[in-house]
Structure 1
Amino acid sequence: MTQQSESTTPASPSAGGGPTARSPHPAPPPVPPLAAPRPLGELRVWPRTFHDRLTAPLPGLKGLARFAREGAVRPAREGLAGIPLLPYEPAPLPRVDARTVAVTWAGHASWVIRIGGLTVLTDPVWSRRIIGTPARITPVGVEWEDLPPVDAVVISHNHYDHLDAPTLRRLPRDTPVFVPAGLGRWFQRRRFTRVTELDWWEAAELRGVRLDFVPAHHWSKRTLTDTCRSLWGGWVLTAPDGLRVHFAGDTGYGHWFTRIGRRYPGIDLALLPVGAYDPRWWLSDVHCDPEEAVQAAQDLGARRMAPMHWGTFVLSAEPVLEPLTRVRAAWDKAGLSRDDLWDLPVGASRVLT
Structure 2
Amino acid sequence: MCSCVTMATIARATTFSLPRLCTASDCQTVSSLEWPPLEAIFHWIPFAGCLFWLGKAGRGRHTQALSLLECFMFRRPDWLASLFNRAPYVAKPAARHHGPAGYRNLYPFTLPSLGSLLHWKLAQWWRARPDHRPEMVPVTGGDPAALRANCLRSSVTWLGHASSFVQLAGQNVLIDPVLSSRASPFRHLGPKRQVPLPIDLADLPRIDLVLLTHLHYDHLDFPTLKRLAQQSGGAPDFVVPLGVARAVRAAGVPAERLVELDWWHAVQRGALRVLLTPAHHWSNRGPWGDLNKALWGGYLLEGAGLKIWYPGDTGYQAELFHEIGLHIGPVDFALLPIGAYEPRKVMRAQHVNPDEAVRIFKHVAARKAWAVHWGTFILTDEPIQQPMAELAMALREQEVSPADFMLPAIGETIWL
TM over 0.5, shorter chain: yes
Are 1:219 and 2:219 an aligned pair?
A: no
How many residues align structurally? 313
What is the aligned counterpart of 1:106 among 143, 159, 176? 159
Q: How does 1:53-68 map to 2 (within 5 A)?
A: 53=105, 55=107, 56-68=109-121
What RMSD in Å do the two structures reach over aligned CA positions? 2.6
Are 1:195 and 2:258 an aligned pair?
A: yes
| More displaced 10-residue stretch of structure 1: 103-112 or 334-343 | 334-343
Q: How does 1:72-91 map to 2 (within 5 A)?
A: 76-77=128-129, 79-80=131-132, 82-91=133-142
| Structure 1 residue identity aligned to 2:141 | P
| More displaced 10-residue stretch of structure 1: 49-58 or 115-124 | 49-58
Secondary structure of the 2:335 match is strand
What is the aligned counterpart of 1:186 among 228, 247, 263? 247
Cα displacement string for residues 143-186 of structure 1 (whole angstroms, at most 9, x for unaligned residues):
22210010100000000010000001111353100001011122
| Structure 1 residue identity aligned to 2:248 | F
Distance 1:250 1:83 in 2: 22
Q: For the structure 1 residues 337 and 62, does the alpha-carbon distance in structure 2 shift closer, same or farther, using more than 3 Å as the test?
A: same
Are 1:208 and 2:261 an aligned pair?
A: no
| Structure 1 residue identity aligned to 2:313 | D
| More displaced 10-residue stretch of structure 1: 56-65 or 229-238 | 56-65
Q: Alpha-carbon deviation of 1:310?
A: 0.5
Q: Alpha-carbon deviation of 1:207?
A: 0.9
| Structure 2 residue identity aligned to 1:176 | D
Q: Alpha-carbon deviation of 1:123?
A: 0.4
* Native 8 Å contact 2:264 2:277 kept in 1: yes
Cα displacement string for residues 224-282 of structure 1 (whole angstroms, at most 9, x for unaligned residues):
1211110001000001x320000111111113222111111221111111000010001
Q: Which residue of 1 aligns with 2:223?
A: 166
Unpaired runs of 5+ residues, structure 2, are 1-13, 21-87, 92-99
Structure with the largest fraction of helix: 2
* Native 8 Å contact 1:98 1:116 kept in 2: no
Unpaired runs of 5+ residues, structure 1, are 6-30, 36-43
Q: Which residue of 2 aligns with 1:287?
A: 351
Are 1:318 and 2:376 an aligned pair?
A: no
What is the aligned counterpart of 1:149 among 195, 206, 213? 206
* Native 8 Å contact 2:117 2:346 kept in 1: no
Distance 1:233 1:222 in 2: 16
Q: Which residue of 2 aligns with 1:130?
A: 183
Distance 2:167 2:246 in 1: 27
| Structure 1 residue identity aligned to 2:402 | R
Q: Alpha-carbon deviation of 1:63?
A: 2.5
TM-score by length of 2: 0.70
Q: For the structure 1 residues 199 and 286, does the alpha-carbon distance in structure 2 shift closer, same or farther, using more than 3 Å as the test?
A: same
Cα displacement string for residues 170-215 of structure 1 (whole angstroms, at most 9, x for unaligned residues):
1135310000101112223324231010000000010110000011
Distance 2:253 2:138 in 1: 37
Cα displacement string for residues 19-70 of structure 1 (whole angstroms, at most 9, x for unaligned residues):
xxxxxxxxxxxx648x9xxxxxxxx984384343364111224433433453
| Structure 1 residue identity aligned to 2:166 | I
Q: For the structure 1 residues 343 and 300, does the alpha-carbon distance in structure 2 shift closer, same or farther, using more than 3 Å as the test?
A: same
Q: Which residue of 2 aligns with 1:303?
A: 367
Runs of 4+ in 1 over 4 A off after TM superposition: 75-78, 94-99
* Native 8 Å contact 1:91 1:348 kept in 2: yes
Q: For the structure 1 residues 72 and 99, does the alpha-carbon distance in structure 2 shift closer, same or farther, using more than 3 Å as the test?
A: farther
